[in-house]
Structure 1
Amino acid sequence: MSRAPEERPREERRREERHHEERREERPRTRPREERDRHEQGHERERPRPRRPALDARDAARRAARHVEGLTGRAAEGVTSLERGKDGWVIGIEVVETHRIPDSTDILAEYQVELDDHGELASYRRTERYYRGRGENT
């Protein structure tokens, strides 16, 4: 059975206190987890974060296709190129301009679309027209 602190001899209490002090010195001085987390979170806010575009590649391609569809009235067939510029995106969009029978004689066009970082149309132009069945280097 343990005795109350007042009842224990003074020397025994001193030995326990020294033992506890030694134990405290042995332990690395760390803050409680919550305090550390709060402290680290504060530092994260202070660090400059890398500038991230408001638009990723997939969203840029989708927006470019919608812009071309809205301006030409024709559905986009696909994305032919995608390039990140310093102020936005440059995207190539392929469109069927004239449907023919057989499909291999359809007339396709490629439009080059430039978008800013927020997906707003900066410019677009038709860069090429060709038959679907035509080879790349003919």
Structure 2
Amino acid sequence: MAGKKSDGNEKARASGSAEKRRVSAPQAMRYATEQLEQLLGHAPESVSSVKPTDEGWEADVEFLELARVPDTTSVLASYRVTLDEEGELMSYERTRRYTRGQVDPRT
């Protein structure tokens, strides 16, 4: 009987270590901001979206690119970040630049 119990545990461990674990949405947000901050050299302003994909996660992260006075004229940029299921950065691209005071037109 001990052999059967041991075999079951070994199978569970083997299958658990072989499978990729999908990180949660809050973890994906943290990983996206941390990894992009390392690449760009400054902290993000906010995360405007995060959503699961077949391959992992996609997030939009906002960064201050050019500080101006008054602050409403500062230039921000939105970056689209793609993460794998484990939260590792796969790609990023700047998708938009805009002034802080700019409001998106209603669609």
Normalising by structure 2, we get a TM-score of: 0.77
State whether residues 79 and 91 of structure 1, in contact with CA within 8 Å, keep that contact through their aligned partners in structure 2. yes
State whether residues 97 and 108 of structure 1, in contact with CA within 8 Å, keep that contact through their aligned partners in structure 2. yes
In structure 1, the residue matched to 2:79 is 111
Q: Distance in 1 between matches of 2:22 and 2:103?
A: 37
Q: Distance in 2 between matches of 1:72 and 1:52?
A: 28
Correspondence 1:8-47 to 2 at 5 A: none
Q: 1:75 Cα shift?
A: 1.0
Q: 1:52 Cα shift?
A: 8.5
Which of 104, 109, 121 is 2:89 aligned to?
121
- Give the total of aligned pairs: 91
State whether residues 109 and 127 of structure 1, in contact with CA within 8 Å, keep that contact through their aligned partners in structure 2. yes
In structure 2, the residue matched to 1:83 is 51
Q: Which structure 2 residue ranges, 5 or more long, are not aligned?
A: 1-7, 13-18
Q: Distance in 2 between matches of 1:53 and 1:87?
A: 12
**Aligned residues with identical type, % of pairs:** 41
Q: Which amino acid aligns with 1:104?
A: T
Cα RMSD (Å): 2.1
Q: 1:135 Cα shift?
A: 1.2
Q: Which amino acid aligns with 2:34?
A: R
Greater relative CO, 1 or 2 (CA 8 Å, sep 6+) = 2
Q: Which of the pair is proportionally richer in strand?
A: 2
Q: Which amino acid aligns with 2:83?
A: L
- Which is higher, the Rg of structure 1 or of structure 2? 1
Q: 1:67 Cα shift?
A: 1.3
Q: Which amino acid aligns with 1:79?
A: V
State whether residues 29 and 50 of structure 2, in contact with CA within 8 Å, keep that contact through their aligned partners in structure 1. yes
SS at match of 1:66: helix
